[in-house]
Structures are given as C-alpha cells and as structure tokens.
Amino acid sequence: MDLNTLEIIDDRIKRIQEDIQKVRSNDNLLLEKQLDEQLTELSLLFKKQQHDLQNKEREVKRLDMELTRTMDMLKIKNNELREWSVTDKITGLFSCDQLMITIEDEIARCGRYGYPLALMIVSIDDFDDFLDKHGFLGGDKMLAFAGSMIKNSVRKFDRAFRFKNAEFIIVLPETDLTLAYMAAERLRKDFRNSRLKGMNNGGNSEENASGTVSIGITAVFPYTTDNISIAALFVQMERALHQAKSNGGDSSIRYE
C-alpha cells in the first residue's frame, strides 16, 4: 500500500470523527455506535497498512544496501581483472604493453606542470650464465625476485615495467637525474646484498643465489619536452646501461 492510500484512509478517519461529534450533539446513540465501529475498523486498517509500508521501506533499504555492496564488489573485481591484464605474471610488475602510453602521459605532464621526469633501465647482470647454472625455473625465480625488489624500492606514484627478458624500466615522475641516481644506487646495493634462497645448483643440492644489476638513467626537464622523443630517451637509457655493463656491471650510470 502506498502513501496515497494511507492519506485516503487518514482523511476518511477524520471525516468519521467529525460525523461522530455531530451525532453526539444530536443524541443519536445507534448512529454514533455504527460510526464508532467504522472508526475502529479504519484505524486498525490504517495501522496495518502503515506497518506494511514500513516493512516495505525496510526491505527497499536492505535491497539498496545489498545492491551497493554488490556494486562495490564488482568494482573491486573489475579493478583486479584490469590490473591482472596489464601485469607481467612472473615479476608482478606492469607489462610493457602500457609502457609507451605511460611515458607519453608523463612527458606531457612534465611539460604541462613543469616537473622533471626520470627513466631508468635495470638489467640483471650475467642472466644467461645464471640460466645455464639454475635452469629456466631458476631464471623465473630470479625474475620474480628482481620484480619484488623493484616493487619494494619504488614510490607509490612510480611505475615499474618488465621490458624484455631480464630488463626492467622504471618511470619516476617529478624526479630529476640526481634523485633518480640515488634511487638507482639504493636498488643496486639492495639487490647485490640480497640472497635468493633454495636455488638448484645443477646437482642434487640447493644453495642461496645472488646477483647484481646494472642501471642506465636519463631524465627529461620541462624545457626539453618539445624537443625530446620516446625513442631518444630509450637510446639515452641504453647507452648509459651499455656503459654500466662495460664497467663490469653492478653499477648505475647517468646519461649526461
């Protein structure tokens, strides 16, 4: 029963009450009794309909809350699915599918707001030799280990991607070359001082493995965004990385 029905019943009760008052003034006891019975019946009906309406309102509120919870869960699942679709399954970092779009957006942001932007390429040293010794499963463990180290080293608004094989690219918004070099050195030292446990050594026993990384770094400044391309940034990173590898690895080099 809707509110209009309740208003009709309420209006009918008021009119009967008025009629009872008129009857009482004329001393018509029989009619007064009949009207009083009608009033009682309508009052009971009114209370029942009011109670039913309240129950329906509570049910609507419950269903609305349930719908809100379902929509929230659906949003969480959609976000998880979206993140899963752009995540490298071995390292847990972003896949390279989103890399170019991210760099383009950050270069535009750099020019728009006047912030610097740094990029670094991280490469596991002697990864092929590591594969020869520990096999492809061991290689996947090392890649997952590297992904975990990188994720723990970057800030919330940085973006880390698996680029190719044993190479990773980190996009660092609002970061100049000096700050990026400091971040690279922290990552390099943490990687060198960490151990990957339970690696097969090619025989029947296991050992703790270690590794090092080489890092090439470049940066974009607001006044250079009109004259820089993503391809040029990759060339700069790779040249710096090549120099780090030529120095024997386990080093961070800035492109200057």
117 with 220, same domain: the answer is: yes
As for how many domains the chain has, the answer is 2
168 with 119, same domain: the answer is: yes
In a domain, 91, yes or no: no
158 with 34, same domain: the answer is: no
Share of the chain above pLDDT 90, in %: 44
Burial of residue 95 (number of CB atoms within 10 Å: 0-12, 13-18, 19+): middle
In a domain, 240, yes or no: yes
Residue carrying structure tokens 């699942």: 77
Specify which of 2-11, 87-96, 102-111, 243-252 reaches the highest per-range mean pLDDT: 243-252
In a domain, 242, yes or no: yes
Residue 213 has pLDDT above 70, yes or no: yes
Q: How far apart are CA 201 and CA 121, in angstroms?
A: 29
* Residue 212 pLDDT class (50, 70, 90 cuts): very high
Q: Which residue, 231, 133, 216, 114, is CA-closest to 173?
A: 114
In a domain, 25, yes or no: yes
Residue carrying structure tokens 């071995």: 90
Q: Are 217 and 253 in contact (CB under 8 A)?
A: yes
107 with 165, same domain: the answer is: yes
183 with 239, same domain: the answer is: yes
CATH of residue 186: 3.30.70.270
Q: Which domain holds residue 22?
A: 3-85
Q: Are 110 and 99 in contact (CB under 8 A)?
A: no
Count Cβ atoms below 10 Å from residue 101 Cβ, excluding itself: 9
Angle between helices 29-85 and 3-25 in degrees, nearest 10: 170
The arithmetic mean of pLDDT across residues 55-78, rounded, is 79
Q: How far apart are CA 163 and CA 216, in angstroms?
A: 13
Q: What is the pTM of this model?
A: 0.68
